[in-house]
Structure 1
């Protein structure tokens, strides 16, 4: 990797940092002729995070190669993005936070590049890209990854572990902290990682481990996720892991990696197969290509449903495992269209914990629901949290508690038979794709044959205690 980067610098003579670039800036002063190639948008169109993601192309695959040295915290990257142009492109953007970019190639030819704003990598190929054409973009870069910033869930992005290793974790953003990416769940793509770390360290990622070998003091491992994945659901963790391997009953590979200090969760982690078996009875066939977990000794305030192999931090318990595995259906298989739709992920995954309590522990969920309502009836702050279109920065405030109550009320409103069909059919209806909360509302109405406009307005769009009609639907009226 070092030699390739040095050769690229000699060939292209292009070095770009976040502060300055030696490439010439594309001319933005002229207006394009009608039908002439144009610049892809610097954002994908999500009003909550208007600069996240990019327009003009659809990413179809990432081939990421990194070398990481925990001793000095330096990362060398060499990433190739395969994409399809959705318009005639004169230039386009990728998202990348920090690093020194040494070269960019488009379809094997040197391309001009520049840095704009906090994380835009603007690329101008030697020849415009035709709408519908498939193209590859190779970016070589290195440096120390940016430290994680404070975010809704805690620290987002690249973090150092207690043992001296590192990991990347975050939502809505994390991919751009370590590789160039179209960073929005609306643009899902396949993912392949080759990670090189000093001997004695282990790099773990999502998907299936293809290979691992140690030569000349370095261990190189390759991981492949063949199904489309949202970039925030990719990860790499480097630590002195203890790794256990197995498989589910259907042959799906299971890999669990425990960092030093994380062994306390092992008893719960050994039940991953049991949890998946239970959730398949509620949500249908397990959609991921792998299973297991990455168990860290850091306490960052949250765990994350990284695809097929969730990442758990200190504070995670058995309920966390149920929750993150439920996301493999709700959030991973079907991802949000925009971040305003986050209840599709979190409300359903949170309710999976109630389903487990009911199905495996015999809990009376109606009684649990009524007890919660009795305690929260006068809590205006609780009811003031919107579950849909809650505003940027508020995505994770109500979905874990009010969202759980709302889903139980929905179940009682439409009845168990219709509710069961919704849970199983929704992931199939939008397999490997994206959907919005309004799509879900319409889907539930169609499956149940009910007009649910008032119900959804009260529970998911409202900011007050729902009226008794919607607060105590179905069997809850007794």
Structure 2
């Protein structure tokens, strides 16, 4: 995710009114114990993330989603038929799925009718005709309909199913958005393949994740569009866009398909998207081979508060420029391929995507990053330093990671040297590709690569809410 201040500058320091700081503690305070995740019990209504305890569900791992929807832009009515293939991680007399604001008409488990009830804001409680044994593979089918619930408010804007000014609709949001349009285990811990069949009236078209399959015209004035993402995906990174899109299609070296879509009124964004091949080539030189099955972008004509790294095909707000394309595509490694274990680990996503913008400016614009860093540090005040980069608390995830985050990574680069830092950028996403990881694991990994104890450095920059001591603030070539 990249929030809207990116349209003005890479960092938000000026907008925050940051000024010079005079307080310089000699050593950072001892890092506090991180908020611990609790392993969810089979049938639990949450997966155990301490920030969002009712996101996701316990007792199963999803292997694949097959979402089938029809959507009428005129009436805003959505009709859905979704199959969730999963494997039980415990004996299940019942289990939950996350689904908000849509009326469920029927549920089946392995072809047999199942009992179901709604609880709370988004819990769909399913009781199969026969219990599902630990280790068994099963498929839940849910049929539902209604006008999708309006988006939730977050610190950066609306999340979930949203209406476009053209009359169409799109889905974007973090930390959760999938449950506004299909039943899901809505947590980044449970990644799965994703297949979408979306039926819309002729004249409208559909963009989503993964690889495009030929559309199926009907004889009733509607057409069904087909998209398949074979690379496992976190649910908040799935999307659908329904509009009168203009499409551009091409192929990257190596055969990766590129599909980009432009809503009415933003066709001029083709100039921005034309830089995508160079961006992916550059990021691959830093982070390793591109890890997704497809590439491209979704350009909406909406002034929402953020752009989002929807897998393989980011969604861009109308204000997004080239630096945002760099940011969202860096997420294809940091956040999408390697996803967070818990939302307290969000620096693994946003700090690295923000620092990718610094790396781009260094390579393509000749920016001296040491000079840029010193300028940012000189005008920073306690509002910047007061933001934690790890275990920052629910609701604070998308704040300091965009400004303090890239500064911290540049300081880390100077602390361990370019050779070790380059290894970290390539080896971390390779080691955890298509999986999940935590910030404490990252600290251990970096210390192993660097061959030294970095607990003081990590404590000062990532755990503390005060200005780092001089030796951590100006390591290596940053020293005054």
TM-score by length of 2: 0.91
Q: What is the deviation of 1:153?
A: 2.1
Which residue of the partner structure matches residue 407 of structure 1? 409
Which residue of the partner structure matches residue 350 of structure 2? 346
**Is structure 2 residue 138 aligned with structure 1 residue 132?**
no
Which residue of the partner structure matches residue 20 of structure 2? none
Which residue of the partner structure matches residue 472 of structure 1? 474
Q: Is the 8 A contact 2:246 2:267 kept in 1?
A: no
Q: What is the deviation of 1:214?
A: 2.0
* 1:339-378 → structure 2 map (5 Å cutoff): 339-376=343-380
Distance 1:244 1:396 in 2: 32
Q: Is the 8 A contact 1:340 1:390 kept in 2?
A: yes
The CA deviation string for residues 354-412 of structure 1, in whole angstroms up to 9 with x for no partner, is 00000111110000000111111xx1111100000000000001000000100100110
Distance 2:470 2:291 in 1: 38
**Is structure 2 residue 148 aligned with structure 1 residue 145?**
yes
Q: What is the deviation of 1:456?
A: 0.5
Which residue of the partner structure matches residue 260 of structure 1? 264
Which residue of the partner structure matches residue 78 of structure 2? 75
Which residue of the partner structure matches residue 431 of structure 1? 433
Distance 1:87 1:213 in 2: 40
Q: Is the 8 A contact 2:55 2:98 kept in 1?
A: yes
Q: What is the deviation of 1:241?
A: 0.4
1:92 to 95, 106, 113: 95
Distance 1:345 1:103 in 2: 38
Distance 2:466 2:369 in 1: 23
Which residue of the partner structure matches residue 44 of structure 1? 47
Q: What is the deviation of 1:149?
A: 1.5
Distance 2:87 2:282 in 1: 39
Which residue of the partner structure matches residue 29 of structure 2? none
**Is structure 2 residue 236 aligned with structure 1 residue 232?**
yes
Runs of 4+ in 1 over 3 A off after TM superposition: none
Distance 2:396 2:223 in 1: 41
Q: Is the 8 A contact 1:190 1:225 kept in 2?
A: yes
Distance 2:126 2:377 in 1: 54
Which residue of the partner structure matches residue 163 of structure 1? 166
* 1:168-207 → structure 2 map (5 Å cutoff): 168-207=171-210
Q: Is the 8 A contact 1:198 1:217 kept in 2?
A: yes
Distance 1:450 1:197 in 2: 57
Q: Is the 8 A contact 2:298 2:314 kept in 1?
A: yes
Q: What is the deviation of 1:211?
A: 1.8
Q: What is the deviation of 1:266?
A: 1.4
Distance 1:427 1:39 in 2: 30
Q: Is the 8 A contact 1:153 1:171 kept in 2?
A: no
The CA deviation string for residues 240-260 of structure 1, in whole angstroms up to 9 with x for no partner, is 000010000111000000001
Number of aligned positions between the proteins: 439
Q: What is the deviation of 1:314?
A: 1.2
* 1:249-288 → structure 2 map (5 Å cutoff): 249-288=253-292
Q: What is the deviation of 1:239?
A: 0.4
Q: What is the deviation of 1:290?
A: 0.3
Q: What is the deviation of 1:152?
A: 2.1
Q: What is the deviation of 1:417?
A: 0.2
Distance 2:333 2:214 in 1: 27
1:211 to 207, 210, 214: 214
Q: What is the deviation of 1:39?
A: 5.3
Unaligned runs of 5+ residues in structure 1 are 1-37
Unaligned runs of 5+ residues in structure 2 are 1-40
The CA deviation string for residues 36-66 of structure 1, in whole angstroms up to 9 with x for no partner, is xx85111000000000000000011000000
Q: Is the 8 A contact 1:253 1:290 kept in 2?
A: yes
Distance 2:303 2:176 in 1: 19
Q: What is the deviation of 1:233?
A: 0.4
The CA deviation string for residues 119-144 of structure 1, in whole angstroms up to 9 with x for no partner, is 00000000001000000000000000
Distance 1:211 1:129 in 2: 36
